[in-house]
Amino acid sequence: MVSRAKLLEVQDLQKNYGKKSNLTKALNGVSFDILPGEFLGIMGPSGSGKTTLLNCIATIIKPTSGRVLLNGENISAFNSKDLAEYRGSRIGYLFQDFELLDNLTGQENILLPLSIHGMDFASARNKLDQLASFLEITDILNKFPAQMSGGQKQRVAAARCLISEPDIVLADEPTGALDTRSAKTLMNKLEGINKSSERTILMVSHDPNAASFCSRILFIQDGVIFHELRRKHDETQEQFYERILQLLAQLGGGSANVL
């Protein structure tokens, strides 16, 4: 494979909370790269710093030191106006609890990023239809979130984050609020999007099942990356899942019991 330009570079990221006497180092020098088209997972127990890492990349919080480069641009140094441009158009978010606006219909929710950024609706029409049929939400486009199931809500949210064709999708425990079946459907869809349109995805999760859909997984603990797993070319998702479980067992009995 030809070596591709790095899409995202995380360089020696540090994030401290609290004052000197009570300092918590949530991130203690994290560095990694993401290549275009990758499906990267970040796993770690509660308090490991994985959400802080995602939030730094998502520009929701500012790192104490270090840089985050998206296509070579240092987004951790952006001002708020540039950040607004960057959010929703160049990166898409998938939240654990969907964050759909419950007074907007599914379609209105999906189109929201476009209207915020003043993009053309006519050209998005096709895109909307494609996404809706791929994510199997065509029938519920005119429903309100309250009338949808959890899985449907998350797929609508996925359509919303994909509609503006972002460079990268950041997903924070996207299956956290879903039952296993819905979770599996969602992960299948995400994997499909990653494969078919080479959309880059960065997903934080502590669910080994969800993580097994990734092509690479970084393990983080106490603010540092301490392990990495790569899915082999011929490895099935089930096999990869076994491998993740093995690793977690070696590390100390799975995600819930690392202490």
Which residues of the chain form contacts with other proteins (CB under 8 A)? Answer: 17, 26, 46-47, 49-52, 55, 58, 60-61, 80-81, 84-89, 93, 99-105, 108, 111-121, 124, 142, 144-147, 160
Q: How far is the CB of 201 from other proteins (least distance, A)?
A: 17
By beta-carbon proximity to other proteins, the closer residue of 79 and 196 is 79
Q: How far is the CB of 10 from other proteins (least distance, A)?
A: 17
Nearer to other proteins, 89 or 209 (CB): 89
Q: Which is nearer to other proteins, 46 or 188 (CB)?
A: 46
Largest Cα–Cα distance in the chain? Answer: 56
Beta carbon nearer to other proteins, 52 or 200: 52
Question: Rounded to whole angstroms, what are the CA distances from 73 to 3, 10, 11?
Answer: 20, 11, 12
Nearer to other proteins, 162 or 240 (CB): 162
Q: How far is the CB of 53 from other proteins (least distance, A)?
A: 11
Question: Pairing mode, if any, of strands 24-34 and 8-17?
Answer: antiparallel
Q: Which is nearer to other proteins, 50 or 243 (CB)?
A: 50
Compute the least distance from the CB of residue 81 to other proteins, in Å. 7
Is residue 191 classed exposed, middle or buried when 0-12, 13-18 and 19+ CB atoms within 10 A define those classes? middle
Q: Are 172 and 204 in contact (CB under 8 A)?
A: yes
Q: Exposed e or buried b for every residue in 32-67, given b needs 16+ CB within 10 A? A: bebbeebbbbbbbbeebbbbbbbbbbbbebebeebe
Q: Which is nearer to other proteins, 206 or 243 (CB)?
A: 206
- Give whole-number Cα distances, 237 to 15, 210, 213, 231, 251, in Å: 33, 10, 6, 8, 21
Q: How far is the CB of 206 from other proteins (least distance, A)?
A: 9
Shortest Cβ distance from residue 183 to other proteins (Å)?
18
Considering the complex, what minimum distance in angstroms separates the CB of residue 144 from other proteins?
Answer: 4
